[in-house]
Amino acid sequence: MGRCQPSAETLKKPLHEASVGFMLLTPQDSSHGGVRALRRIEVGGGHCVTEITVEVEGFPPAKSEALSLLGAGHSHAGRVEKLLAAARSRLAQPGFQPFTGPVGLEATIVAPEDVDPWDATNYLGGIADVLQDKTHLKNHKRMRIALPETLMAVTVYLHDRQVRELQYRQEGGPAPRYRVRIWSL
């Protein structure tokens, strides 16, 4: 399937006319890996995913040291695995192809008022790195990858250079969690 390219007119139409739909899942629905919404547009008789939103418990992986987030022994390895696991099941559904063109990325961090999370740039960089294609790292001679094959294969977009629009927000809440939304520009 080629790149999703709905027209501006298609996106302005009412949902029933544009063949655009949302699949909303409850937070308790763990069968979809924490994915809360998936926007699909019918293109040439098939479905094309143009936006995904993933919610994950805890804080996101943050870039903070010389060691790769994907490397064995990184302090945020558990966070990396949680993000990839949350994205994996939905991305395997029909209609999803990794984004090949420019994308937008929005991260909303929820934290208790008495907790001071890391800074926005490290969170955005960590999320962007983790969701890009990682297959080229399999044979990297100096890096020991600690992820299972099934998580290494999770690819939302080919390279984080595709991210052309960023949004970041921090909100108060009872427990740490975050939401990542990625959409085709």
Q: pLDDT category, 35, cuts 50, 70, 90?
A: very low
Give a yes or no: residue 174 inside a domain: yes
Is residue 77, in this structure, part of any structural domain at all? yes
Domain range for 33 is 8-184
Q: What is the mean pLDDT of the chain?
A: 76
C-alpha 43/C-alpha 47 separation (Å) is 6
Range ranked top by mean pLDDT from 4-8, 39-43, 157-161: 157-161
Question: pLDDT band at 1, cuts 50/70/90?
Answer: very low
Q: Is residue 126 part of a domain?
A: yes
Number of domains within the chain: 1
Cβ proximity of 62 and 68 under 8 Å: no
pLDDT tens for 72-112 read 676 778 898 899 999 997 687 677 889 999 999 999 999 99
The pTM of the full predicted model, rounded to 2 decimals, is: 0.74
Burial 129-158 (b: 16+ CB within 10 A, else e): bbbbbbeeeeeeeeeebbbeeebbebbbbe
CATH number at residue 131: 3.30.1330.70
Kindly state whether residue 2 falls inside one of the protein's structural domains: no
The two three-digit tokens of residue 151, written as one number: 């998580």
pLDDT of residue 91: 84
* Residue 124 forms part of a structural domain: yes
Q: Is 3 inside a domain boundary?
A: no
Answer yes or no: is 1 within a domain. no
Token look-up 């970041």 returns: 168
